[in-house]
């Protein structure tokens, strides 16, 4: 009787722990994303369009002295551009409303140097509006970039430019062009320019002149849904290069560091070498955006015809950006006619077709999954959440379990060469190392491995694997695991 009582109390105690854990989700780990950042993460790919008088001058950085009369595209049609972008699977379009040359593509009241002084739509045009309407009609997100550096304005580098011109431009743009999904802030700061005819070099202190704290307040107030991109976030960080790749180990958190001791980091003023990797256990949730032009330059140059990135090159970029939990922001550049070059349209479309085919079938769907541990043995955290279509339902382990194995008995013998993992990032970025094995000729064989996982990790294998059983080993995590997605896919040419 005595023994029976003891066993009973142990049993009650264990059930108690299991019950408590079943009721309690894992505690979030470190910095976590906001709703705005979650929405951004799901977008994965969007484009940024450069098209100003600089296009007509065949330059990359307009000096700020171009005659507005040269901005005269004969065949500009926003719908055609949007359709080409959509065919590539991109989910948004950011328009450069003003680049460093200072020319505003909307009828602004802040400067004379704007589209109403050009022949476009007989001086009655608003290119930003045309793009916004076409973008929203196609169901894509709209974003804006208004360069703080302005090589046209006579007052650039003085308070008058910032207070009477730049903030005003932001207010016009953020109130008249619908709900923005992202806004882009660039770190290019000062240098030589036209500056109202002064034609000189002007330097500013990037950490103070623009007063980014004020700018972020304007954005938050007027566009609360817009994810802010800059070298240091606050929502999305620059990845530190314009080649389109995040580091193999890329954390979604960052502790920005200033290049000068005792000064605050700011856009254009940060230790760049930290940006491709982010910071493990960084202070802020600040995942990376990889901005890279489709052609060698951000603007169209006829001599670069034939150098448009091919679908194969774009795929490489995709796996090293989107596949490393970053976003891909691809630069598109209309020709002076206002149209995209036929090669650009074709390569974007073909790239999109490959992606569509690749991710059409998940060979892990319908698998029977066995886990070495499931939190509180509860259905709430069961491994089958890894193969449902909910990005945030997840499999979790008990608090004390920081490595675990899962075996996926696939429904059928399958051939694949892409593996996808996603953590439930609402609980932070947890996992630090994983490996994947396939059951081949009666034994487990390692086929892939990765470090950081985060919101989206794609492992692209060099050859197709054929098997009916796959094992995922979570090797390292500082806290219990919260994984939401496991997928197996095949690129079309390898099927
Ligand atoms: C850079 C700019 O200087 C380029 O001209 C381009 O706009 C790119 C997207 O950002 O830093």
386 lies in some domain: yes
Per-residue pLDDT band at 6 (split at 50, 70, 90)? low
Q: Which atom of ligand 1 sits closest to the CA of residue 99?
A: 7
Q: How confident is the model at residue 289 (pLDDT cuts 50, 70, 90)?
A: very high
Residue 462 and residue 330 in one domain: no
CB of 406 within 8 A of CB of 471? Answer: yes
CA of 50 to the centre of ligand 1 (A): 9
Q: How far is the CA of 186 from the centre of ligand 1 (A)?
A: 7
Rounded Cα–Cα distance for residues 325 and 318 (Å): 10
pLDDT tens digits, 219-237: 999 999 999 999 999 999 9
Domain-ending residue, one of 358, 381, 413 = 358
How far separated are the first and last CA of the chain, in Å rounded?
65
At 384 the pLDDT is 98
Ligand 1 centroid – CA 379 distance (Å) = 49
What contacts 278, CB < 8 A, 6 or more positions away? 237, 250, 251, 252, 253, 254, 286, 287, 288
Mean pLDDT of the chain: 95
399: domain CATH number is 2.60.120.260
Q: Is the CB of 51 under 6 A from ligand 1?
A: no
pTM, to two decimals: 0.95
Residue 306 and residue 394 in one domain: no
**Residue 14 reports pLDDT greater than 50:** no
- For residues 66 and 178, membership in a common domain is answered with yes
Torsion of CA 342, 348, 353, 358, to 10 degrees: 150
* Residues 48 and 184 placed together within one structural domain of the fold: yes
Q: How many domains does the chain have?
A: 2
CA distance 285 to 253: 4
Residue 13 pLDDT exceeds 50: no
- Asked if residue 332 has pLDDT above 90, the reply is yes
* Same domain? 307 vs 432: no
Q: Is 215 found in the same domain as 186?
A: yes
pLDDT digits (tens, 9 = 90+) for 87-142: 999 999 999 999 999 999 999 999 999 999 999 999 999 999 999 999 999 999 99
Q: Is the CB of 188 under 6 A from ligand 1?
A: yes
Q: Which atom of ligand 1 lies at the shortest distance from residue 145's CA?
A: 7
pLDDT level of residue 23 (50, 70, 90 thresholds): low
Under DSSP, the state recorded for 104 is B
| Residues 75, 338 contacting (CB under 8 angstroms) | yes
Q: How far from chain centre, in Å, is Cα 454?
A: 13
Strands 395-396 and 327-332: unpaired
Among 327, 358, 389, which residue terminates a domain? 358
Angle between helices 212-222 and 167-176 (to 10 degrees): 20
**Domain termination residue (choose one: 358, 379, 396):** 358
Q: Is the same domain home to 444 and 295?
A: no
Residues 42 and 165 occupy one common structural domain: yes
CB distance 354 to 317 below 8 Å: no
3-state secondary structure of 35: helix
Q: Do residue 316 and residue 439 come from a single domain?
A: no
Q: Residues 422-478: pLDDT tens digits?
A: 999 999 999 999 999 999 999 999 999 999 999 999 999 999 999 999 999 999 999
What does each C-alpha distance from 316 to 236, 335, 357, 458, 459 come to in angstroms?
Answer: 22, 26, 16, 11, 12
Mean pLDDT of 286-307: 98
Instruction: Give the three-state DSSP class for 65.
Output: coil
Confidence label for 7 from pLDDT (cuts 50, 70 and 90): low
Q: Are 233 and 286 contacting, i.e. CB atoms less than 8 angstroms apart?
A: yes
d(CA 177, CA 292): 25
For residue 220, what is the enclosing H or E element? helix 212-222
Cα angle value 189/219/424 (rounded, 5°):
100
Least confident span in 1-10, 53-62, 90-99, 381-390: 1-10
Q: Would you say residue 5 has pLDDT above 90? A: no
Confidence of residue 190 (pLDDT cuts 50, 70, 90): confident
> Which atom of ligand 1 lies nearest, measured to the CA of 61?
5
Task: Report the C-alpha gap between 104 and 261 in whole angstroms.
Answer: 36
Contact of 209 with 162, CB cutoff 8 Å:
yes
Give the Å distance between the CA of 89 and the centre of ligand 1: 23
**CA torsion 370→371→376→377, rounded to 10°?**
10
Cβ pair 386, 369 in contact under 8 A: yes
261 and 291 in a single domain? The answer is yes
Give 291's strand partners: 329
CB atoms within 10 A of CB 435: 16
**d(C-alpha 236, C-alpha 48), whole Å:** 15
Return the number of other C-beta atoms located less than 10 Å from residue 160's C-beta.
Answer: 13
Helix, strand and coil percent figures for the chain, each rounded to 5: 30, 25, 45
On whether both 406 and 325 belong to a single domain, the answer is no
**Helix, strand counts (H, E) of the chain:** 10, 19
Please give the Cα distance from 316 to 46 (Å, whole number): 16
Check if 22 has its Cβ closer than 6 Å to any atom of ligand 1. Answer: no
pLDDT value for 9: 55
Where residue 80 sits, what CATH number does that domain have?
3.20.20.80
Q: Which of 336, 260, 286, 315 is nearest to 460 (CA)?
A: 315
Distance CA 329, CA 73 (A): 25
Structural domain for 108, as ranges: 35-358
What pLDDT score was predicted for residue 188? 78
| Cα 203 to middle of ligand 1, angstroms | 18
Roughly what angle, to the nearest 10 degrees, separates helices 342-358 and 311-321?
50
Ligand 1 and 297: CB distance under 6 A: no
pLDDT of residue 1: 43
User: Distance from the CA of 188 to the center of ligand 1, in angstroms?
Assistant: 7
291 Cβ closer than 6 Å to some ligand 1 atom: yes
- Say how far apart CA 296 and CA 466 lie, in whole Å: 38
Q: What is the pLDDT of residue 187?
A: 80
Task: Compute, in degrees rounded to 10, the torsion defined by CA atoms 356, 42, 371, 398.
Answer: 180
pLDDT tens-digit series, residues 477-486: 999 999 999 9
* pLDDT at 494 > cutoff 70: no
pLDDT at 189: 83
H runs (alpha helix) in 359-461: none
Percent of the chain residues past pLDDT 90, beyond the cut: 91
Nearest CA to ligand 1 atom 10: 186
In a domain, 398, yes or no: yes
What percent of the chain clears pLDDT 70, i.e. is strictly above it? 95
The reply to whether 24 falls in a domain is no
Residues 43-68, mean pLDDT to the nearest whole number: 98
Question: CA-CA distance, 318 to 355, in Å (whole number)?
Answer: 9
For CA atoms 487, 493, 494, 495, give the dihedral sign.
Answer: positive
Q: How many Cα atoms within 13 Å fall on the side-chain side of residue 439?
A: 13
Q: How far apart are CA 160 and CA 226, in angstroms?
A: 27
Same domain, 445 and 305: no
Residue 28 belongs to some domain of the structure: no
């Amino acid at each position: 009787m005595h023994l029976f009582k003891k066993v009973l109390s142990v049993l009650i105690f264990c059930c108690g722990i299991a019950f408590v854990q079943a009721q309690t989700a894992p505690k979030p780990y470190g910095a976590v994303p906001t709703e705005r950042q979650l929405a951004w993460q799901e977008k994965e790919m969007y484009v940024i369009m450069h098209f100003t008088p600089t296009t007509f001058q065949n330059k990359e950085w307009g000096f700020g002295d171009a005659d507005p009369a040269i901005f005269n595209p004969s065949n500009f049609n926003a719908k055609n551009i949007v359709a080409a972008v959509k065919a590539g699977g991109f989910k948004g379009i950011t328009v450069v409303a003003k680049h460093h040359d200072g020319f505003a593509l909307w009828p602004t009241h802040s400067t004379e140097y704007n589209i109403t002084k050009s022949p476009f739509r007989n001086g009655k045009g608003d290119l930003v509006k045309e793009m916004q309407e076409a973008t929203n009609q196609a169901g894509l997100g709209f974003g804006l970039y208004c360069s703080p550096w302005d090589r046209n304005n006579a007052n650039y580098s003085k308070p008058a430019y910032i207070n009477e011109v730049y903030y005003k431009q932001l207010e016009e743009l953020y109130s008249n062009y619908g709900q923005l999904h992202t806004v882009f802030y660039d770190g290019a700061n000062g240098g030589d320019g036209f500056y109202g005819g002064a034609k000189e070099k002007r330097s500013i202190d990037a950490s103070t002149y623009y007063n980014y704290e004020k700018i972020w307040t304007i954005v938050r107030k007027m566009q609360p849904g817009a994810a802010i991109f800059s070298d240091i976030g606050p929502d999305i960080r620059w990845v530190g290069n314009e080649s389109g790749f995040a580091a193999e180990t890329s954390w979604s958190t960052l502790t920005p560091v200033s290049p000068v001791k005792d000064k605050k980091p700011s856009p254009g003023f940060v230790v760049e070498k930290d940006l491709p990797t982010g910071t493990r256990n960084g202070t802020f949730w600040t995942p990376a955006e990889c901005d890279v032009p489709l052609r060698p330059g951000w603007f169209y140059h006829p001599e670069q015809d034939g150098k448009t990135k091919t679908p194969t090159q774009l795929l490489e970029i995709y796996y090293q950006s989107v596949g490393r939990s970053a976003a891909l922001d691809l630069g598109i550049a209309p020709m002076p006619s206002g149209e995209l070059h036929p090669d650009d349209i074709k390569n974007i479309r073909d790239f999109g077709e490959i992606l569509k085919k690749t991710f059409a079938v998940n060979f892990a769907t319908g698998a029977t999954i066995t886990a070495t541990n499931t939190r509180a043995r509860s259905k709430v955290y069961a491994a089958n959440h890894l193969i449902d279509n909910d990005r945030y339902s997840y499999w979790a382990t008990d608090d004390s379990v920081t490595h675990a194995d899962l075996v996926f008995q696939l429904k059928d013998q399958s051939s694949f060469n892409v593996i996808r993992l996603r953590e439930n990032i609402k609980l932070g970025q947890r996992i630090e190392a994983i490996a994947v094995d396939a059951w081949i000729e009666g034994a487990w064989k390692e086929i892939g491995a990765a470090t950081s996982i985060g919101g989206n990790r794609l492992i692209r294998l060099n050859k197709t694997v054929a098997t009916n059983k796959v094992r995922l080993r979570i090797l390292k995590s500082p806290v219990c695991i919260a994984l939401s997605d496991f997928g197996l896919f095949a690129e079309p040419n390898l099927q």
